[in-house]
Amino acid sequence: MTLADAQRRHASLAAEIRGHDYAYYVLAQPQIADRDYDRLYRELSDLEREHPTLITPDSPTQRVGGQPVSEFKPFTHAVPMMSLDNTYSQAELREFVNRTQRLLPDQSLRWVVEPKVDGLAINLRYENGFFTAGATRGDGTTGDDITANLKTIRSLPLRLASLEKVTIAASPPQLLEVRGEVYMTRAGFEKLNRDRQENGDEVFANPRNAAAGSLKQLDPRIVATRPLDIVLYGLGGIRYAEGAREAFQPASQAELLAWLKKLGFKTPERTWFCHTPEELVAAIAELDQWRGSFGYETDGAVVKLDAFALRQQAGATAKAPRWAIAYKYAAEQARTRLRQITVQVGRTGALTPVAELDPVLLAGSTISRATLHNEDELRRKDIRLGDLVIIEKAGEVIPAVVGVEWEARTGCERCFEFPKQCPECQSPVSRTSVAGEETGGVVWRCSNLDCPAQIRGRLEHWCSRGAMDIEGGGEVLVAQLVKQGLVKDVSGLYRLNVFDVANLERMGGKSAQNFIDAVAASKGRDLWRLLFGLGILHVGAGVAKALAKRFASLDDLVDASRTGLDNVPEVGPIIASSVARWFAEPRNLELIQCLRQAGLNFQSSLYKPEAAQGGLAGKTFVLTGTLPTLKREEASARIEALGGKVSGSVSKKTDYVVAGEEAGSKLAKAQALGLAILDENQFLELLKSARG
Ligand code: IVH
């Protein structure tokens, strides 16, 4: 294929994929089967591997290209991002409407009611139609530049949709800033928490926290695995080039939303237009009926003036506009007596306080337990045994104790002493934070790896469907095996005999034999299942598969973990160090020996030799100085397209340093270390030979 042909094919593939992304992620109306989509996507990335010059920043392949950063750069919003005044009361809402009318006498006011999406406010910048940057609200003036994280959100257009149609392509705004909310879908949130529970990671309390924790990640590859979405409802700034042909400026919220939709953005599910406080109240009540069916949590309604000119006239106070207000729905709450606090010990030793309550009906189900999250939360809310507590459940959120009915206190309530020992095994607990923890080091952990609760958790996880898939290895049987001292770690399962198992309560000879057979069958499972089953912190099924693709056997992985797990896709520094730590533990190595003796499969069927992964797989590059023709991003993209990695700093592990004009200390360091240093021509030669 000539370069010109490749260029044409690339453009048409990219446009086709963008169209499918839009249909799937924005409209939720997929047009083709996943398999066919994958085929298009693979053709595009193959084409880009062959012709790296074709890679554009808005290519569908570039959503997860970003490198981990050590901190976010500050981003100054073109127009400050304000927040809104809140109210829970209809009377205040009426007062707000009347006040606005007094500010704008003689005007007929049209109001828009939109769902108040419970996520994080985000600002997106498009330059000449291309997504160039995005940031959090921050203090309103300056936020964090989280562009690479935002690019992973598939419903976020990397270029404005109408650009592909000739009419508006003539004049996209030179600068466009649009505002909206990043959220996690309810379904995605539930699945994420299930996975995190299985991996021994802390669960998120609600979709909002999960979205916030995700966007805070410094490694966009992690963000890409999170089910985030974005909806747009606001305008920051808009500027056209002088003499632009179709310099469209929305004059109202209605026009803005219609325009945003045309540009390819997801906009609020439903809106209502109202003229009187009565109509507003009715619309807000209707939204309340509807919001359960939205993909996201809606914690209220936003009421805003429709006409932008009137907004201008109404103005703003120091922190909030005078033309809008947020009406918040009260979360579903119930009051009940806190009888006891139990402390559960998870697979990783994490201690979670759980409220044992008098059963009470809340949001359609009877609740008798609710999470108290952790000790800090307990203290902050001053929750005591015997208190009449308020529990809350909003949508998919785990029922939680949110407060205490102070008036009901009699003085007989007792403070809860958070245990200084593990409630299962009485070992000391400690509160050191674990690397990569998104909620901060607020969790107490049992320090005893032989803690029966931890052993049970590890065994259940090993047997679970997603891991070694051992039928029958559920909570009840595992608890008995541990209680009877028959099994102390997962290798013990392979030393059980049918008589041991048949002697347990409620176990017949037949079910005992079935279990023993299931255990035996698990010996042949693929390496990634075993890796996932070991329950290494941060090693979920996805990471386990990534490792199994990169290493032919468990022994290769153990060896590599000693020198550092660089260059494994999906494995960042936090995961790498967690894996290294795990394999450095003598007792874990002993466990591996026992599993080997038991005859478990250590070979990976997913393994692909490096050669098949791209000609630069396993190679690390550092770029420094200015190259005569290649831009830095372009050079990086070409290296990555061939499986190589680009790093920001020179070390012994660097394979090549590509140096241009005014290369400074990095070049000097490379020379001192005796590394291979390439100029642009040599670099291009290397790329050519790496492409084969
Ligand atoms: S308009 C000048 N519309 O709620 C601020 N905000 O409580 C204009 N939010 O910071 C904001 N859904 O993060 C607006 N449909 C919506 C919204 C919405 C959610 C958030 C937003 C804002 C916060 C204010």
CATH code of the domain covering residue 346? 2.40.50.140
- Distance, CA 307 to ligand 1 centroid (Å)? 17
- Residue ranges lining ligand 1, Cβ < 6 Å: 82-84, 114, 116-117, 121, 181, 233-234, 268, 302, 321, 324, 326
Extract long-range pairs of 23-32: CB within 8 Å, 24+ residues apart.
24/154, 25/154, 25/155, 25/229, 25/266, 26/155, 26/264, 26/265, 26/266
Residues 539 and 508 in one domain: no
Q: Are 628 and 684 part of one and the same domain?
A: yes
Is 60 exceeded by the pLDDT of residue 167? no
195 lies in the same domain as 235: yes
Show which residues are catalytic.
116
Least confident of 29-33, 329-333, 370-374: 329-333
The answer to whether residue 648 is domain-embedded is: yes
* Rg of the chain over all Cα atoms, to the nearest angstrom: 29
Closest ligand 1 atom number to CA of residue 321: 2
Distance 403 CA to ligand 1 centre (A): 26
The pLDDT > 90 percentage for the chain reads 62
Q: 188 and 113 in one domain?
A: yes
How much is the pLDDT for 196? Answer: 82
What spacing in Å lies between the alpha carbon of 514 and ligand 1's midpoint?
57
Which residue range forms the structural domain that includes residue 660? 620-691
Structurally, the chain folds into a number of domains equal to 6
Residue nearest to atom 13 of ligand 1 (CA): 121
Mutate to test the pocket of ligand 1, among 79, 83, 84 (most ligand atoms within 8 A of CB): 84
pLDDT bracket for residue 168 (50, 70, 90)? very low
Note the pLDDT tens digit of each residue in 203-230: 787 889 899 999 999 889 889 989 999 9
284 within some domain: yes
| Nearest ligand 1 atom, CA 316 | 2
What average pLDDT does range 366-391 have in this prediction?
Answer: 91
Residue 345 lies in a domain: yes
- 584 in a structural domain: yes
pLDDT, position 351: 92
Together in a domain, 252 and 103: yes
Which atom of ligand 1 has the smallest separation from the CA of 268? 15
| 322 backbone dihedrals φ, ψ, rounded to 5° | -90, 0
Decide: 347 and 461 in contact? Cβ < 8 Å. yes
Task: Enter the tokens of residue 329.
Answer: 């729905």
CATH number of the domain to which 538 belongs: 1.10.150.20
Q: What is the mean pLDDT of residues 2-21?
A: 92
448-464: average pLDDT: 95
pLDDT at residue 32 is higher than 50: yes
Query: How far is Cα 598 from Cα 570, in angstroms, rounded to an integer?
Result: 31
Rounded Cα–Cα distance for residues 350 and 596 (Å): 29
CA 21 to CA 33: how far, in whole Å? 12
Domain end call among 328, 363, 389: 328
Ligand 1 centre distance from Cα of residue 219 (Å): 27
What separation in Å is there between the alpha carbon of 308 and the centre of ligand 1?
16
Do 357 and 309 share a domain, yes or no?
no
80-116 burial code (b ≥16 CB/10 A, e <16): ebeebeebeeeeebeebbeebeeebeeeebebbbbbb
Tell the residue nearest (CA) to atom 4 of ligand 1: 116
Residues 512, 575: one domain? no
CA angle centred on 441, ends 436 and 447, rounded to 5°: 95
Confidence category of residue 40, pLDDT binned at 50, 70, 90: very high
Among 382, 242, 257, residue whose Cα is nearest residue 308: 257
Residue ending a domain, choose from 524, 554, 570? 524
**Per-residue confidence band for 523, with pLDDT thresholds at 50, 70 and 90:** very high
User: Is the same domain home to 150 and 231?
Assistant: yes
pLDDT at 396 over 60: no
Give SS3 for 230. Answer: strand
Q: Whose CA is nearest to atom 22 of ligand 1?
A: 83
Whether residues 221 and 109 share a domain: the answer is: yes
20 CA from centroid of ligand 1 (Å): 29
Q: Are residues 560 and 675 in the same domain?
A: no
Q: Residue whose CA is closest, atom 10 of ligand 1?
A: 83
**Best of 120, 181, 182 to mutate for ligand 1, by most ligand atoms within 8 A of CB?**
181
